[in-house]
């Protein structure tokens, strides 16, 4: 019985290793913006692509909580077109990559539609009442 368990385990390990590497590279992120640059709760803005890899989306979740997500899609991030956008810039409800059509929740970056299986890379945020600090 023990031999069968080891054989099954080795077969499982062999076939579970995939060739595709959908890792988003780590880059240094350390900047701040004034909270007044965002609108009220539920609003979001893009940063320039000098932050992160392809830019960052900053989302005003509630009175004191802001979220920051890398705009590089977690599905085939090496593609030039793998850039996440807001579904609606005035009243966003999710983020979408028009290249692969993956859709991500604004609350935590989790994919809910399309081929992406991994959440968007999320950066640390802190808020001091005036400035939003985004770091990793």
Residue 7 lies inside a defined structural domain of this protein: no
Q: Is the pLDDT of residue 134 over 60?
A: yes
Range of the domain at 119: 24-135
User: What is the number of domains present in the chain?
Assistant: 1
Residue 38, burial from CB neighbour count under 10 angstroms (0-12, 13-18, 19+):
middle
d(Cα 135, Cα 65) in Å, to the nearest integer?
15
Residue 99 lies inside a defined structural domain of this protein: yes
| Whole-prediction pTM | 0.82
Residue 13 lies inside a defined structural domain of this protein: no
Q: Write the CATH number for 53.
A: 2.102.10.10
Please, which pLDDT band fits residue 50 given cuts at 50, 70 and 90? confident
Residue 114 lies inside a defined structural domain of this protein: yes
Residue 94 lies inside a defined structural domain of this protein: yes
Nearest 5°: the CA angle 111, 107, 123 is 85
pLDDT at 90: 86
């Amino acid at each position: 019985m023990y031999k069968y368990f080891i054989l099954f385990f080795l077969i499982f390990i062999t076939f579970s290793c995939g060739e595709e590497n959908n890792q988003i590279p780590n880059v240094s992120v350390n900047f701040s913006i004034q909270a007044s640059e965002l609108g009220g709760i539920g609003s979001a803005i893009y940063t320039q692509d000098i932050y992160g890899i392809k830019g960052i989306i900053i989302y005003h979740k509630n009175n004191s909580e802001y979220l920051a997500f890398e705009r590089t899609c977690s599905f085939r991030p090496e593609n030039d077109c793998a850039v996440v956008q807001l579904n609606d810039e005035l009243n966003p409800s999710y983020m979408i990559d028009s290249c692969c059509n993956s859709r991500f929740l604004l609350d935590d970056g989790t994919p809910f539609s399309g081929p992406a299986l991994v959440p968007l890379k999320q950066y640390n945020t802190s808020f001091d009442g005036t400035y939003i600090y985004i770091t990793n």
